[in-house]
Amino acid sequence: MRAWRYPAFWLTLGLVAAVGIVVFATRSATLREEMFLLLMFVTLASSLNILLGYTGYVNFGHIVFFGLGGYVGFYLMSQQGWPLWWATLAGGLASGLLAWVLGAATLRLRGAYFALATIGVNEAVRAFVNNFRPFGGPTGMSLNFAVYRQYGGPANALWWTFGAMFGLTLLVIVISYLVKFSRFGLGLMSVREDEDAAMVMGVRTPSMKTWAFVLSALFPGMVGVLFFFKNGNVEPGDAFRLQMSIEIIVMVMLGGSGTVLGPAIGSAAYERLRGYLLTSPIFKNLHLAFAGFLLLIIVLFVPAGLVGWLRGRVPRLRRVLE
């Protein structure tokens, strides 16, 4: 476990921790809500990065894990009376299981075929949940308000949810680093560079890819449960938004895929920027166009993302920005 020896590890962890500490210190509910979304996207982007950044496989359906995990957890809470903590774990496991099954099948596909398959999976699951009665069909499920009483009233419940979200974000950062500096991570990156060569060298790529997929699916599953618990209801349209999958990819690219700091910074920047554009009088109507323009510029001119670009520019920063 060499991760601790890197300053980058402490830098990233410190940045995320600062967000949580500021929120807990100020006790501001607005700040908490905004930072909840921010941390949520950091977690989603960082978990996607484990597959996208390390193995180079582009998953257009990352949000399916968010939606399915959220649904399973929500079902357990609202219909079976499970407490939030166990439901969150169950949501993560359900997503992990789905990833394991899907991974075994779809990860044989290379390149764009895999990307297309993930779009198909997302749409198929959404359409299925839309028809699945136990999950409430098209109108979804909602929590009875009394549920929040178990956690000391709604205000407390929201703080607990934020705390859990914060914990998850720290966890995903730690795991990202552990994977990156492990033998497992090295195997994944050899897949990214040249899968055939890696196989020839004896890297067991199929199982490695599948486990990376599972790992990257666990977190969105848990995040989904927290998110929908906070919202009080869940619907297919909110749970499986293809648009959101793509936005998460943009976040990873913006910061720099393959690094841990990159997705964290990228998602935070994108979320804040979007929030700013949405409420600014000039850009309000053009926020999407502006975000698109930004994305195009990054793809065309800075494909390594912010962190990747800095690493390339200033070699001395490589130990710090990882």
Q: Restricting to residues 157-186, which ones interact with another protein according to CB under 8 A? A: 157-158
Among 15, 231, 317, 320, binds another protein (CB under 8 A): 231
Q: Rank residues 3 and 117 by Cβ distance to another protein and give the closer one.
A: 117
Of the candidate spans 1-9, 166-174, 218-226, 229-237, the one that interacts with another protein by CB under 8 A turns out to be 229-237
Binding pattern for the stretch 79-118 against another protein, x by CB under 8 A and - elsewhere: --------------------------xx-xx-xxx-xxx-
The number of CA neighbours under 13 Å toward the Cβ of 242 is 14
Interaction between residue 317 and another protein (CB under 8 A): no
Which residue, 2 or 21, is less far from another protein as judged by CB? 21
Residue with smaller CB distance to another protein, 3 or 261: 261
Least Å distance between CB 17 and another protein? 17
Residues of span 245-274 touching another protein by CB under 8 A: 246, 249-250, 253-254, 265, 269, 272-273
> Applying CB under 8 A, which of residues 120, 207, 318, 319 lies at the interface with another protein?
120
What is the greatest pairwise CA distance in the chain? 58
User: Which residue reads 């989603």 in tokens?
Assistant: 44
Rg (CA), the chain: 19
Selection from 60, 92, 65, 14 nearest residue 264 by Cα: 14
Stretch that binds another protein, among 79-87, 179-187, 196-204, 278-286 (CB under 8 A): 278-286
Give 83 or 292: the residue with its C-beta nearer to another protein. 292
- DSSP character string of 52-99: HHHH----TTHHHHHHHHHHHHHHHHHHH---HHHHHHHHHHHHHHHH
Owner of token pair 């850009």: 283
Residue 190 makes contact with another protein by CB under 8 A: no
Q: Which is nearer to another protein, 119 or 199 (CB)?
A: 119
DSSP class of residue 235 equals -
HSE at residue 134, side-chain half, CA atoms within 13 A, is: 8
Say if residues 69 and 43 touch (Cβ distance below 8 Å). Answer: no
CA distance 302 to 93: 36
Q: Is 280 in the site for another protein (CB under 8 A)?
A: yes
Alpha-carbon distance of 303 to 111, in angstroms, equals 18
Contacting another protein within 23-62 (CB under 8 A): 28-31, 33-34, 37, 52, 56, 58
The encoded tokens of residue 52 equal: 């996208």
